[in-house]
Every structure is written in structure tokens, then in C-alpha cells.
Structure 1
Amino acid sequence: MILVPGVAACAAVGVAMAQGVLAASFFISGQKFQVAADSLTARGFSLYGMIDVTRKHELVPVAVSGFRHATVSGLCQSVVVDVPVLGTQTLRLTGGDGRPVEASNLFIDATTESVGQANFDGLDIGVAQGALTKGPVRSADRNSRFFDPDGVAQQALSTTLTDVRVSAVAVSAGTFNIPGLRVRLQQGDHACF
């Protein structure tokens, strides 16, 4: 009962963002969640540092991975919450098993990332954040007081990542099409990894 309003709100926000109704600039909850994928292939990749802000105005340093157009197989997203009386609960979203997930202007604000194998074409390491052109930069980030145009960034024309494991505080996308979407609320810890 305690989780239902939060789950409904998360689902509504996710649908609104996927349909392009809600802007990608928002206060984060500050709670980390997991995002995993068997593979992620993208045209236009960027990686830059940023500071996200919670509703309580706490600052959370993140590495933002941006993908202009991404194709994802074996997508899993999970958040584990301890609920008084009910115990540990997991909200888990999966999709892209039969047909791949497709996203445009996908941004993942991560605190940690690991990849089994990363392949890049047209890679630039050490480019200034303000000079990123091969991959996207979220417009809300570019206009943020925390965006350092002279900060160090990375970009590539394309990338293929396998066995992706990310601890994130936010994910946003211009479009996010998920075939075979499944959302489950389960008792216990059923995190993606």
C-alpha cells in the first residue's frame, strides 16, 4: 500500500518522459537504482561530469553518458526499497529481449559504471565539455551552473558496449521505445545485478 502511490508516480513520469511531455530537467530523488543491459549500441556518444541536485538541495556528482541514438538488448532497471512492516521490495522493469529497445537522446546519470567490453569509433578523450559535438549534451546541463565548458569529456562517433552495469540516480530520453515491457513489484531483493 505504501509503495503504490510512488510506483504510480514513477510510471507516470516514465511515460511522460518517453512521450516527450516532461522536460528532462528535474530534481533527483537521490536514491540509486540499477540499470543493466546485455548490449548497447549507439551512434553519437558523449561522457562528461555533472552535478545533480536533490529536492533537499543536496549535490550529487555524476558521470553523464549521452547517446544520440541507442539500441539496447536485454534491458533491466531495478530499485530496491525497504518498506516499514512489508520489508524489502523491488520495483523491476525489463524489456528488449525479443526485439531491441530504441532510444534517442538517452542520458544516464551514473555514480558507477562497468562494461564487459567497450568498442569505440572516432574516439576523442580529453575534449572540453563545451566542445562536445559527436555525442549529445542535455540542454539543461549545458545551461547549468555546474556545467564546466572547460572540463574534461570524452566523445565518439559510435560505440558498442556489452555486459553493461550502471548504478544511476537518473535516466532521461527524448524517446524510449521498449518492446516487451514488463514492470513487476516483488518482495525481496531482485536487483538487476
Structure 2
Amino acid sequence: MTSEFEMSMLGELSFFLGLQVSQLENGIFISQTKYAKDMLKRFQMAECNAVSTPMATGCKLSKVDDTPTIDQTMYRSMIGSFLYLTATRPDFMQAVCMVSRFQSAPERFHFITIQRILKYIKGTLDFGLWYPRNDNFTLLAYIDVDWAGCVDDRKSTNGATFFLGDSLVAWHNKKQDCISLSTAKE
């Protein structure tokens, strides 16, 4: 009796549900380069200049910016595209969460911020998730909070990333439901 079975001749996994999978000897790399390029073309940003960060330093978005409103349908479509891309690109998830708050009444300034995210994607097309082959199973977590970062309601946003060894395995970003008040007295 043999315990072996014959595999089909389909070959190595290279694409799965829009994800590009590169199986290398020292690990696996998962990306969405083709999807990102197609998204840039769809939103007419394929020829834009790249930027090094998804949002400008110190950028604070507000519900009312006194700029003209824009098409909600296009804005929401861009947000949806970003959310799908964050499956392999947690590097700009915070920016996506920030701009997604304004889907009900997006204004020109919000759209300019979305264009910056697209410019960032243009410069980082080959980013993705790297899972090296090793035996390091140390669990690490990094957490950050922007303490009352929302200018509209003073609520905080927190984010966390979780690594198993050198591999990112989970990430989280959430605007808090309530406001924390200090109990310190002067």
C-alpha cells in the first residue's frame, strides 16, 4: 500500500482571487501589482507622478472643508478599490480609513487626498506581503493611537499590526466609538 498520490499537472499557484503569488525557495511573496496598475488606469492616474507617503504629514480631514462637493459614486468606487488592495497592502490602510469617513458628502479636498493615495500606489506598485521560510514563531504586536485625532468629533483612531516571526499576519485600524476624558486634576 502506498501513501503517495499524484498531483495534477496544473503547476505552481501564481494567481489566486486577484492575488499574485510568487513561490520562491526562501519564501512566498503575495502582491496585487496587476490590480493596482489596472486601478490606476481606471481612475486615469496611470501617468501621475509618484509620492513617497499616502497622506501629507499632519493632514487633518474634516467633514466641512468649504470646497465643492464631488461625485459620490466615483469616490465610493475608489474607496472600494483601495479596500480590496489593502488585502496585501496594509501600508496605506490608515489613509484609506481616513478618506472613507467622508463617503456621504465628499468634497474637493477629500478627492485631492484620494488622488495622493493613488500617487503613492503608483510609486509602490511592487509592494506586497513577504512570508519567508523560517522557524521563527515569535509573536509581536505594534499598536498606535492618534489620541483625539478627528477634528470633527475628537475621537481617536487606533491601529495595530501583528507579526509571527518576520511575517505580517494581521492588521487592524478602527476609529473609537467614544471619547476618553482625562481624570487628572491641576
Q: Which TM bucket (shorter chain)?
A: under 0.3
Structure with more contact order per residue of length (Cα contacts < 8 Å, sep ≥ 6): 1
Could you tell me the TM-score, scaled by structure 1's length? 0.25
More strand by share: 1
Could you tell me the TM-score, scaled by structure 2's length? 0.26
Instruction: Look at both structures and tell me which one has the larger radius of gyration over its CA atoms.
Output: 2
